Amino acid sequence: MAHDDHSSAPRPETLISNLTGYIDTRIDLVRLELQQRANGLFISVVHGVFLAFFGLMFFLFLNLYAALALNDVFDSPSLGFAAVAGFYLLLLVLVLVGVDKKAFQGLADKALKDTIYKSDKH
């Protein structure tokens, strides 16, 4: 009987079939990961938009309430609004003149430290 050495070695067709199956699986895995990241990004954006909107509404109406309350205190129909506007003008001048951008950079670094490259640390 002749000994067949080729029976134990994988056939080229099987290797190519396995390789294409592996590549297809990797492509599907990358697509799934991209879809999960896109879903997470979408949820984060929608959540952020809602938080910003409701926060802005709260801030706006709180300022209107403060201005109207100051109108009563000053017994004037408009002086409360001027006081609130002057307060924000003072804050604007302080930020423009007195606060260095490096202070905001440190704050941004702390706030974003675990968000942008969070998935790369695993």
Q: What is the mean pLDDT of residues 6-18?
A: 77
The pLDDT assigned to 55 comes to 98
The pLDDT assigned to 103 comes to 74
- Asked if residue 6 has pLDDT above 60, the reply is no
The pLDDT assigned to 70 comes to 97
CB of 36 within 8 A of CB of 52?
Answer: no
80 Cβ contact list (under 8 Å, min separation 6): 66, 67, 68, 69, 70, 71, 72, 73, 74
| pLDDT band at residue 120 using 50, 70 and 90 as cut-offs | low
What is the Cα gyration radius of the chain?
Answer: 31
Q: pLDDT digits over 34-82, tens only?
A: 999 999 999 999 999 999 999 999 999 999 999 999 999 999 999 999 9
- Asked if residue 118 has pLDDT above 80, the reply is no
The pLDDT assigned to 4 comes to 52
What is the token pair recorded at 63? 């300022």
The pLDDT assigned to 105 comes to 79
Q: How open is the CA angle 113-119-122, to the nearest 5 degrees?
A: 105
- 66, 70, 78, 88 from 73: Cα distances, Å: 10, 5, 11, 19
DSSP 22-71: HHHHHHHHHHHHHHHHHHHHHHHHHHHHHHHHHHHHHHHHHHHHHHHHHH
Read off the pTM. Answer: 0.59
- Asked if residue 20 has pLDDT above 70, the reply is yes
Residues making up the chain, counted from first to last: 122
Q: pLDDT digits over 97-115, tens only?
A: 877 777 777 777 887 776 6
